A = this chain, B = another copy of it.
Amino acid sequence: MSKYTIISKRSQIGNNVRIGNYCIIHDDVIIHDNVEIEDYCTIGYPTPSADGLPLVISNNSHIRSYSLLYQGSVFGENLKTGHRIMVREKTIAGKDLQIGSFCDIEGHSEIGHHVRLHSNVHIGQKSKIHNFVWIYPYVVLTNDPHPPSEGFIEGPEIFDYSVLATMSCILPGVKVGRHALVAAHSLVNRDVKENTVVAGVPAKYLCETKDILLRDGSGSAYPWTHHFHRGYPDSIISEWKKGYYDFEV
């Protein structure tokens, strides 16, 4: 039984939902089944910017402690978060999303399926992240081409299977192509071609991703789907093994 928790009677809470201590569940919240919400969380933080839309947390999700989710976002099933995350309104996310501790998702963005955000990722508004993308700590997706502006906001677009390594910054409107790799501590100010590696400030073409070798001599490190399978369902892995990347997820 949770202690010192405040739950609105207007919230809709499914079966087998566990809510921790010191939580606040606001009005405009739909929580589906088999969900765990840990201590000190704020669920469905109200904002007029949500236009009255509820927060939707789907089946089999796990929100870790001290997290803050605004009203007006929708998450697919199997959401897993770290601690102290923050997600603002109108974030529309697919299934199997992982959000690391201290992430700041500013809302008004689209996130695909099976995306992995490590700790302290900052997703500016109007970002678009496709499926199977990996984003590492302290990466920032920006949206303002000549700050401060207003009518010119344009987020980056990060395509399937691409990887943004630690402390990189992606400038407004930049497109990072499929299976691309942005090296750590890069500033990406122009589009990145698929299957390529860019690095530096500003980031320049370094090589093809296939030229990066695994340290054990077993071959190329990319596409990472060749050797990294942790946490993905067998149905997806078997597609990858056949060399398919565009199946329905």
| A: interface residue count bin | 35 or more
Which residues of A (66-82) have their CB < 8 Å from a CB of B?
A: 66, 68
A225 to chain B, nearest CB (A): 10
**A145 near B: Cβ within 8 Å?**
yes
Q: Considering the chains assembled together, what is the distance between the CA atoms of A247 and B210 in angstroms? A: 48
Asked if B148 and A134 sit within 8 Å, CB to CB, the answer is yes
B169-A140 in contact (CB<8A): no
A68 to B3, CA, bound (A): 18
Establish whether residues B150 and A137, one from each chain, have CB atoms under 8 Å apart when the complex forms. Answer: no
B104 touching A215, Cβ below 8 Å: no
A24 and B39 contacting across the interface, CB-CB below 8 Å: yes
Q: Kindly provide the distance from the CB of A208 to the nearest chain B CB, expressed in whole angstroms.
A: 13
A140 and B122 within 8 A (CB): no
Determine how many copies of this chain the complex contains: 3
- Contact B120–A147 (Cβ < 8 Å): no
Q: How far is the CB of A230 from chain B (nearest CB, A)?
A: 6
A138 adjacent to B152 (CB under 8 Å):
no
Flag if A148 contacts B228 (CB, 8 Å).
yes
Asked if A45 is at the interface of the complex by the 8 Å CB criterion, the answer is yes
Question: Which residues of chain B have C-beta atoms less than 8 A from A145's C-beta?
Answer: 215
A81 CB → nearest B CB, Å: 13
Contact digits for A189-216, partner B, Cβ 8 Å, 1 yes 0 no = 0000000000011000000000010111
Measured CB to CB, the nearest residue on chain B to A154 is B215
User: Would A150 and B228 count as touching, CB distance under 8 A?
Assistant: yes
A 82-125 binary contact with B (CB < 8 Å = 1; else 0): 01101000000000000001101010000000001001101010
Tell me whether B3 and A6 are in contact (CB under 8 A): yes
Having A142-B184, A149-B228, one finds 9 other A-B pairs with CB under 8 Å, namely: A4-B22, A45-B65, A86-B101, A104-B119, A106-B119, A137-B140, A148-B230, A149-B221, A149-B227
**Can you give 12 A-B contacts (C-beta < 8 A)?**
A66-B66, A86-B101, A104-B120, A136-B142, A136-B147, A137-B142, A140-B167, A142-B166, A147-B163, A152-B215, A152-B216, A169-B184
A interface residue numbers (CB < 8 A to B): 3-4, 6, 21-22, 24, 39-40, 42, 45, 65-66, 68, 83-84, 86, 101-102, 104, 106, 116, 119-120, 122, 124, 134, 136-138, 140, 142, 144-152, 163, 165-167, 169, 171, 184-187, 200-201, 212, 214-216, 221-222, 224, 227-228, 230
